[in-house]
């Protein structure tokens, strides 16, 4: 009977067949031990020379790293480790050989690994990160549906940008001139809220900014959410709920992955019991200066500032109500302080940096038109977006969460390039 390694607990004492790859192995005298990976998990397969036919033994001692195999044997519970199972092999079939697999147990440099990304994905750590990514993606979608958001995907080819075209990748588009790869679906899902009330999109977005950091990809996945009749504070509540939901999903579904990554889960468990901090931008600047940063009022927070603000924090921090002049035209002005807008960045803990950017949107036609003009953008290009304020405009808010930023934080990975199967960076587009 074919089973997957993750199902072993239900098959103790029974004969099963598994199909996978040889992750590693060693033989000592008359016993060969292999670590087998089948995608669902890892197990040790034990081949005893005395209990198998000679050809099986020969295949076993000859199986090199990454040989693909079909193994039949009996599942046994590890004598000492609870929840760990082994396969006592009775027969073995080689499906595909693997000669001189380039990635070994020795240390390889990041460039070598990135050039071999197509193979590097098979390593245990990458396996764990891929699975955490899957968990985060599912958690995002489940939470949004529980909160009655409807998935409403937005286009990737766009005629203009949310915030101007400088950070966009242009693409020739038939006789219509230049299109751009989307950097956010926000404007489009703002239109969809008047149909479905609350909606989200989830897909790849593209940023042509030349940011060479451990937190920037040129192609990354973003979930944009938008909700009618939701204002600034409630917008932050939804974001806090989302982050906690993702953390809870990872803690419950990714135990094995966290062990492989040697990730201490205490900080994640702790934040679930607390409320996130909400710090106005003005207060954040004062606090940063006290902590030794030379940031000036009116500047954007750098990576170091985000780290400084959260270094001793048990919870993520919302930095909200930023100066209007450094933020895009669509953010709603705070009527009590017209120099500020109702927006927020959410900074994660453990050095994870900005995870979410959100805001209440300007819902007044005249104010929005004025801001579009003031930003040097063309009102004609935004005619359809302005229409949304002409026909039944409502207060509404939304946010965008970067999938790989969240995966980087959850998995405790230093560089974001490991948080997407095939990363696209300023200086890398292969494999
Ligand atoms: P940053 O200041 O970190 O460059 P941003 O302010 O440009 O980010 P937004 O435009 O608000 O980010 O995008 C929403 C979210 O998308 C961010 O909070 C982050 O999680 C993610 N994100 C933004 N840019 C990138 C990128 N280049 N690579 C990966 N994720 C990103």
For residue 402, the CA-to-ligand 1 centroid distance in Å is 6
How many residues in total does the chain contain?
431
Q: Which residue from 161, 215, 226, 357 has its CB within 8 A of the most atoms of ligand 1, so it is best to mutate?
A: 357
Question: What is the number of the ligand 1 atom nearest to the C-alpha of 405?
Answer: 20
β 178-181/170-172 pair status: antiparallel
Residue nearest to atom 21 of ligand 1 (CA): 402
Question: What is the number of the ligand 1 atom nearest to the C-alpha of 354?
Answer: 18
Residue 52's CB is within 10 A of a number of other CB atoms, namely 20
pTM to 2 decimal places: 0.97
Q: Which two three-digit tokens encode residue 332? A: 């709603």
Q: Which residue from 184, 402, 410, 418 has its CB within 8 A of the most atoms of ligand 1, so it is best to mutate?
A: 402
Residue 408's CB is within 10 A of a number of other CB atoms, namely 29
Question: What is the number of the ligand 1 atom nearest to the C-alpha of 209?
Answer: 27
User: Looking at residue 164, what is its pLDDT?
Assistant: 62
pLDDT in tens, the chain (431 residues): 999 999 999 999 999 999 999 999 988 889 999 999 999 999 999 999 999 999 999 999 999 999 999 999 999 999 889 889 999 999 999 999 999 999 987 889 999 999 999 999 999 999 999 999 999 999 999 999 999 999 999 999 998 655 566 799 999 999 999 999 999 999 999 999 999 999 999 999 999 999 999 999 999 999 999 999 999 999 999 999 999 999 999 999 999 999 999 999 999 999 999 999 999 999 999 999 999 999 999 999 999 999 999 999 999 999 999 999 999 999 999 999 999 999 999 999 999 999 999 999 999 999 999 999 999 999 999 999 999 999 999 999 999 999 999 999 999 999 999 999 999 999 999 99
Residue nearest to atom 8 of ligand 1 (CA): 354
For residue 280, the CA-to-ligand 1 centroid distance in Å is 20
Residue nearest to atom 9 of ligand 1 (CA): 357
Q: Which residue from 186, 356, 400 has its CB within 8 A of the most atoms of ligand 1, so it is best to mutate?
A: 400
For residue 319, the CA-to-ligand 1 centroid distance in Å is 15
Question: What is the number of the ligand 1 atom nearest to the C-alpha of 416?
Answer: 29
Averaged pLDDT score across all residues of the chain = 96
Question: What is the number of the ligand 1 atom nearest to the C-alpha of 400?
Answer: 14
- The three-state DSSP-derived secondary structure of the chain is CECCHHHHHHHECCEEEEEEEEEEEEEECCEEEEEEECCCCEEEEEEEHHHCCHHHHHHHHHCCCCCEEEEEEEEEECCCCCCCEEEEEEEEEEEECCCCCCCCCCCCCHHHHHHCHHHHCCCHHHHHHHHHHHHHHHHHHHHHHHCCCEECCCCCEECCCCCCCCCCCEEECHHHCEEEECCCCHHHHHHHHHHHCEEEEEEEEECCCCCCCCCCCCEEEEEEEEEECCCHHHHHHHHHHHHHHHHHHHHHHCHHHHHHHCCCCHHHHHHCCCCCEEEEHHHHHHHHHHCCCCCCCCCCCCHHHHHHHHCCCCCCEEEECCEHHHCCCCECEECCEEEEECEEEEEECCCCEEEEEEEEECCCHHHHHHHHHHCCCCCCCCHHHHHCCCCCCCCEEEEEEEHHHHHHHHHCCCCHHHHCCCCCECCECCC
For residue 28, the CA-to-ligand 1 centroid distance in Å is 51
Residue nearest to atom 22 of ligand 1 (CA): 402
- Ordered domains of the chain (ranges, CATH): 5-96 (2.40.50.140), 117-419 (3.30.930.10)
Q: Which two three-digit tokens encode residue 178? A: 């230049």
For residue 356, the CA-to-ligand 1 centroid distance in Å is 7
User: Looking at residue 105, what is its pLDDT?
Assistant: 74
For residue 216, the CA-to-ligand 1 centroid distance in Å is 7
Instruction: Ligand 1: list residues with CB < 6 Å.
Output: 207, 211, 216-217, 220, 222, 354-357, 400-402, 404-405
Cross-sheet strand order for the sheet of 157-158: 157-158, 178-181, 170-172
Question: What is the number of the ligand 1 atom nearest to the C-alpha of 358?
Answer: 11
Residue nearest to atom 16 of ligand 1 (CA): 402
Residue nearest to atom 2 of ligand 1 (CA): 354
């Amino acid at each position: 009977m074919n089973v997957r390694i993750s199902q072993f607990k239900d098959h103790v004492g029974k004969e099963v067949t598994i199909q996978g790859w040889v992750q590693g192995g060693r033989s000592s005298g008359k016993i060969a031990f292999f670590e087998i990976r089948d995608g669902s998990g890892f197990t040790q397969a034990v081949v005893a020379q005395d209990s198998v036919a000679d050809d099986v033994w020969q295949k076993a001692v000859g199986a090199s790293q990454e040989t693909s195999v079909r193994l039949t044997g009996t599942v046994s519970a590890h004598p000492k480790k609870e929840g760990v199972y082994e396969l006592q092999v009775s027969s073995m079939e080689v499906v595909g050989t693997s000669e001189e697999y380039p990635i070994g147990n020795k240390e390889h440099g990041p460039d070598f690994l990135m050039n071999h990304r197509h193979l590097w994905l098979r390593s245990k750590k990458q396996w764990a990160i891929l699975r955490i990514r899957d968990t985060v993606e599912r958690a995002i979608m489940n939470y949004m549906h529980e909160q009655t958001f409807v998935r409403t995907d937005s286009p990737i080819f766009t005629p203009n940008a949310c915030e101007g075209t400088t950070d966009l990748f242009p693409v020739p588009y038939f006789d219509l001139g230049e299109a751009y790869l989307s950097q956010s679906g926000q404007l489009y899902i703002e239109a969809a809220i008047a149909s479905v009330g609350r909606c989200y999109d989830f897909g790849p977005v593209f940023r042509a900014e030349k940011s060479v950091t451990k937190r920037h990809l040129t192609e990354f996945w973003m979930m944009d959410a938008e909700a009618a009749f939701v204002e600034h504070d409630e917008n932050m509540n939804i974001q806090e709920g989302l982050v906690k939901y993702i953390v809870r999903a990872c803690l419950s579904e990714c135990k094995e992955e966290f062990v492989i990554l040697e990730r201490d889960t205490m900080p994640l468990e702790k934040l679930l019991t607390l409320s996130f901090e909400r710090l106005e931008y003005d207060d954040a600047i004062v606090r940063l200066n006290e902590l030794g940063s030379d940031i000036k009022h009116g500047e954007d927070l750098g990576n170091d500032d985000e780290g400084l603000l959260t270094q001793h924090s048990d919870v993520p921090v919302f930095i909200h109500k930023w100066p209007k002049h450094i933020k895009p035209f669509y953010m709603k002005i705070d009527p009590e302080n017209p120099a500020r807008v109702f927006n927020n960045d959410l900074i994660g803990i453990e050095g994870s940096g900005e995870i979410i950017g959100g805001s209440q949107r300007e819902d007044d036609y005249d104010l929005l038109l004025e801001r579009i003009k003031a930003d040097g953008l063309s009102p004609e290009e935004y005619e359809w977006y302005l229409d949304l304020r002409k026909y039944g405009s409502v207060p509404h808010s939304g946010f965008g969460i970067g999938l790989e930023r969240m995966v980087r934080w959850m998995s405790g990975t230093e560089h974001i390039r490991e948080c997407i199967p095939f990363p696209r960076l300023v200086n890398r587009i292969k494999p």
